[in-house]
Structure 1
Amino acid sequence: MLKKETKIAIVGGGVAGSSIALYLGQLGLNVTLFEKESSLVSGPPFCHLHAGGNLYREISDEQCVKLLKQSIDFLRFYPFIVDYRPTVIVLPTSDSGTPDALLPRLELLKGEYEALITANQNNEVLGESADYYTLYSKEQIEVLKQQPVVSKPQTCDEWMIPVAKNIDLDKVQFPLIMVQEYGLNLFRLAAGASLALEQIDNVTLRTKTIVSNIQEECNADGWRITYIKDDETYYESFDYLINAAGFRSGKIDDLLGVPCKRMVEFKAAYVSQWKSCSDTLWPEIIFHGERGTPRGMGQFTPYPGGYFQLHGMTKEITLYEDGLVSNTALSCQPQLGQNFIEKIEKSWSQEETDQRTKSAIKHLSQFIPAFSQAQVGSKPLFGAQQIPGDDPTLRVAEVSFPAARYARCEIVKVSSVIDMIDTVIEQFIELGFLDRSVQGKRDVEYLTGLTEADITRYAEVLCKERDYPISLGNRNVSSKH
């Protein structure tokens, strides 16, 4: 089936690096995963299963369809990280677009989802295709506004009740649109991936480790990696190198001298707590808007315990001046300003945390007036995201092979990781590392054997270690699994 001595080095233990380590490890390959931080999956925040890309009006239908397929694959691979609640798409009255303009794409996605289910019944993970999206007129919302909140909502109408009761109906266009795009939990993915990898004997985890140099072996059939751990320098040889270093991917490219073109964007989401809503289960709500203006998109993402993760696509909230940078002819690594590096590697000031979180609360309160009572919940969720090429609106990217025995993984959305794995597996088959019989196999027994209690317990530990409320590691009680 494979060459037992084949050794694979993966640099970076984020979603891409951890996922491919899991997959290759369960196939029996000898894998070493290098991670700079003390735990896995500690990069830029993610919270949303983009099963159709309905957050992004500006991207192509082709990208949306691909995001739908990738999201289904990702949900099937990591079911324990999904928060099964819908998303409500709202267009403010101040927005230049209309809800009707979104309908052709929604119909396209509904048809694509139906086709995926027809091809494989196991793809029916977003509910029935007929329910992929639901429209709500103002009259329907007025009726729901009179209904009592349901403690464990199951139907679209039950999920919509808190929205109907709290949203300013004079500031939004109708119909409102509910889509089956669910939530994703970063801490639960980190917990599950870590627990699974610890069980695989042929996977070595090297956390708190810095890769300082990489050189091609003299016979050009592998790589010699120099790394530093506990102030000691070590050397090790590998047959294949996978660059999953996230926004630091360019540093690896520079060591290898390969061609590149990429951008890096600093990202932050803000954590608030609305104590009076601690027992209410909400859908996610997206208020569309023009990026970079005071009317930029608002994202209202619920967690248990009245915590809400907030995005506001304005320069006072999520977007930063000089927060998007490109590489130069001299280096593959785009250079973020020192103020961003300090946030990533050290800490946020309390002043900036308070200022930007309160700005985010104010931004969402223009549509949900009672949310003005919310308070700062913790430091922000943050990190830097690599974007291959020169298109900042790109949302679908996976992997490239700029040199022999070298894969550069640059996912933009976490759901792209399964396509990334499939492409790497195809190359490993061609190199003779694996037999073709493994192609297309998706189940990882080390993941399916994890218990809900163990995942939740470890996710809460990671929240504490990273100074976040433990609620951020939990699912809402209405989740299916």
Structure 2
Amino acid sequence: MDQNTKQSNIRIGIIGGGVGGATIALQLSKQGANVVLFEKETSLVNGPPMCHLHAGGNLYREISDQQCIELLKQSISTVRLYRDAIDYRPTIVSVPIHDQGHPNDVITRLKKLQTEYAKLINTDPENQVLGPASQYFTLFERQEIEILAQLPTPNQPETPEQWMIAFAKNVDLTQLKFPLILVQEYGISVFRLAAITSLALEKSKNCQLLTNTKVTSVTQDSAKNKWVIEAEREGKKQPFEVDYLINACGFQTGTIDDMVGLLPKRMVEFKAAYISHWSSHQNNWPEIIFYGARGTKHGMTQLTPYPNGYFQIHAMTPEVTLFKDGIVSSKSGSAQPQLPTKYLTKINSQWDPQIINNRTIKAIGKVAGFIPNFGDASVGGPPMFGAQQIPGVDPTLRVADVSFQQNKYARCEIVKASSALPAAHTIINNLIEQGLLPSNTAFNSVVSISNHLTELEISERAENLALERNFPQALAGRICPN
């Protein structure tokens, strides 16, 4: 806790220990609030596949420029907050020949983002976390790529040109429109993020962290003006009284709304990404985006590199990342959208090994359509999967943080991990406005959570989490700047 922060007597309950709930718990603890965090799983930050920072919304051509600008701002704060969970490697953005779009459309938006990024750096030099604004993106014509393909592949690329070499040597240039774009758009490691939040909360004097704990009911005690949370842990039920309740249950947010008696409209989407292993290629690849129309056989393909030849694959097609009936809306009488049982089974237990194998092979095939040699890759582990919440009725919404529908009740509605810190700040402002937290003008400053953690602590916990969740240990690694 900051030395200038006053201790508060308020007790805040947070249900859900995903990136939203964990980040909010850390920020509230820092403000001196007494926090109890409930998480039904054995560790924090489980959920839908997370690997991309989404700075500038470069994956989403369909969203507005304003959403992209908000994602840029939020992602910069996320890098500053979780600097030791970031994969510092750029992203190649490409438009396939079969796609109706053109690189110039992407470039027009990137120029707007570049201008916004420069403004943010001028406002606060600490915002320069994606490299200099002048180098936010680099364009490559076909002739330049052909020249780069003749150069040796560096073990540790540093310049934009060096980052393009492995791609240039392997991609089928006839499949792409030019120019290609290299953006300073980084990755984020879910296992390192889980490690950092867990370690920091375990060391916090103001947070009671309760994993393996399932909330079974939420009621209001009007006489005491308190929320009563009943939770089951180790087969025993226990009541907890809190002054303020935060619902951060991700795709299950509606279940708590039902307990509270609220019926907001919302959507839930089940998605999966697949782990492949390309043993002949190691640690010198950027992330790669091949644009495409979502839901078609040419849906966007995303290739995310990890150490030791592991790659995560998204492909926005019904045969890979998307699922039939995988997006559902809430209906009358309940705030919780009901996913088909087959998807809930996947979330709560295990996948059929044959389905894992089939879908991973199809994912590999999608990438091999652009990078032929990638056809040599094999299944590298279980899929990364989960359900994503989308508040409201717009399935393209990517920027959301918090809603307040009842007194002393906040609903964390983040869609992307980068919205977690803004959600925390919105809730802190609400608490200050209600007089429940002392005013502290410094709370908007962004300080790295891992300042008091060692690299050894983080890496060991991250590797253990990867193994506990049955993933290759390499997925807990990351690419760091020299």
Q: 8 Å contact 2:95–2:290 — kept in the other structure?
A: yes
Aligned to 1:177: 181
1:459 to 431, 452, 462: 462
User: SS state of the match for residue 275, structure 1?
Assistant: coil
Aligned to 2:72: 68
What does residue 477 of structure 2 align with?
A: 474
Equivalent residues of 1:77, 1:442 under 8 A apart: no
CA offsets, 1:79-117, max 9 Å, x none? 001010000001111111111122211110110001111
**Separation in 1, partners of 2:440, 2:31:** 11
Q: Judging changes above 3 Å, is the alpha-carbon distance between structure 1 residues 446 and 173 closer, same or farther for their aligned structure 2 residues?
A: closer
- Contact 1:2-1:433 within 8 A present in 2 as well: no
Greater Cα offset, 6-15 or 93-102: 93-102
Identify which of 320, 329, 333 aligns with 1:326.
Answer: 329
**Counterpart in the other structure of 1:357:** 360
Distance in 2 (CA, whole Å) between partners of 1:230 and 1:377 is 34
Superposition pairs of residues 130-141 of structure 1, within 5 angstroms: 130-141=134-145
Q: Which residue of 110, 115, 120 maps to 1:111? A: 115
Q: 1:13 aligns with which of 9, 12, 17?
A: 17
Q: Structure 1 runs of 4+ off > 6 angstroms?
A: none
8 Å contact from structure 1 (residues 53, 67) kept in 2: yes
Contact 1:288 1:297 (8 Å CA) reproduced = yes
Cα distance between partner residues in 2 of 1:213 and 1:7? 18
1:219 CA displacement: 2.7
Say yes or no: does 1:429 pair with 2:435: no
Instruction: Tell me if structure 2 keeps the 8 A contact 1:14–1:244.
Output: yes
Q: Deviations over 1:320-359 (max 9, x none)?
A: 0000000011100000011111111101110000000000
Q: Which residue of 2 aligns with 1:192?
A: 196
Q: Which residue of 2 aligns with 1:242?
A: 246
Residue identity (%): 50
The one-letter amino acid of 1:398's match is D
The answer to whether the 8 A contact 1:2-1:29 is kept is no
Give the equivalent residue in structure 2 for 1:346.
349
In the alignment, structure 1 residue 152 sits paired with structure 2 residue 156? yes
Residue 122 in structure 1 maps to residue 122 in structure 2: no
Rounded Cα–Cα distance in structure 1 between residues aligned with 2:286 and 2:160: 9
Q: CA deviation at 1:435?
A: 2.1
Is 1:26–1:444's contact at 8 Å kept on the other side of the alignment?
no
- What amino acid maps onto 1:49 in structure 2? L
Q: Find the aligned partners of 1:295 and 1:340 in 2 and give their Cα distance.
A: 24
Partner Cα distance (2:138, 2:269) in 1: 34
Q: Helix, strand or coil for the counterpart of 2:46?
A: coil
In the alignment, the residues of structure 2 paired with residue 219 and residue 62 of structure 1 have an alpha-carbon distance, to the nearest angstrom, of: 44
- Distance in 1 (CA, whole Å) between partners of 2:451 and 2:168 is 38
Distance apart, 1:444 and its partner CA:
5.1
Equivalent of residue 52 in structure 1, options 53, 56, 66: 56
Q: Does structure 1 conserve the Cα–Cα contact (< 8 Å) formed by 2:217 and 2:230? A: yes
Q: Deviations over 1:120-175 (max 9, x none)?
A: 11111110101111100001001100000001111000000001000001111110
Q: Any idea what SS the aligned residue of 1:198 has?
A: helix
**What is the CA–CA distance in structure 2 between the aligned matches of 1:366 and 1:143, rounded to whole Å?**
22
Contact conserved, 1:221 with 1:405, CA < 8 A, in 2?
A: no
Secondary structure of the residue aligned to 2:14 is strand
**TM-score, reference length from structure 1:** 0.98
Which residues in structure 2 correspond to 1:51-450 (within 5 Å)?
51-219=55-223, 221-278=225-282, 280-443=283-446, 447-450=450-453
CA distance in 1, matches of 2:322, 2:238: 40
Matched to 2:328, the amino acid is V
Q: Secondary structure, in 3 states, of the residue corresponding to 2:59? A: coil
How far apart, CA to CA, are the structure 1 residues paired with 2:385 and 2:213? Answer: 21
- DSSP-derived class of the 1:277 partner: coil
Contact 2:81/2:448 (<8 A) preserved: no
What displacement does 1:202 show? Answer: 1.9
- Where 2:460 maps in the other structure, the secondary structure is helix
Aligned residues of 2:80 and 2:448 also touching (Cα < 8 A): no
Shift of 1:27: 1.9
Query: Structure 1 residues 283 and 301, CA, compared in 2 at 3 Å: closer, same or farther?
Result: same
Alpha-carbon displacement from aligned partner over 1:359-418 (angstroms, at most 9, x marks no partner): 000001000000000000001001111100001110000000010000000100100111
Deviation of the 1:4 alpha carbon: 3.3
What is the CA distance between 1:454 and its match in structure 2? 1.1
Give the whole-Å Cα distance in 2 for the aligned partners of 1:273 and 1:3. 50
Deviates more, 1:425-434 or 1:149-158: 425-434
Secondary structure, aligned partner of 1:127? coil
Alpha-carbon separation, structure 2, partners of 1:323 and 1:27: 39
Displacement of 1:438: 4.2
- Which consecutive residues of structure 2, in runs of 5 or more, have no partner in the other structure? none
The secondary structure found in structure 1 opposite 2:203 is: coil
Structural RMSD (CA): 1.2
- 1:232 counterpart letter in structure 2: K
Q: Distance in 1 between matches of 2:438 and 2:239?
A: 30
Relative to structure 1, the CA distance from residue 469 to residue 137 in structure 2 (aligned partners, 3 Å threshold; closer, same or farther) is same
Output the CA distance in 2 between the equivalents of 1:101 and 1:446. 37
CA distance in 1, matches of 2:8, 2:165: 56
Cα distance in 2 for residues equivalent to 1:234 and 1:350 = 38
Q: CA deviation at 1:2?
A: 4.9
How far did residue 422 of structure 1 move? 1.1
Answer whether contact 2:38 2:209 (CA < 8 A) is retained: yes
Kept in 1: contact 2:279–2:309 (CA 8 A): yes
Contact 1:2 1:432 in 2 (8 A): no
Residue by residue over 1:163-199, the C-alpha shift from the partner in whole angstroms, topping out at 9 and shown as x without a partner, is 1000001111110001111011000000010011000
Moved more, 434-443 or 290-299: 434-443
Counterpart in 2 of 1:33?
Answer: 37
**More divergent stretch after superposition (200-209 vs 155-164):** 200-209
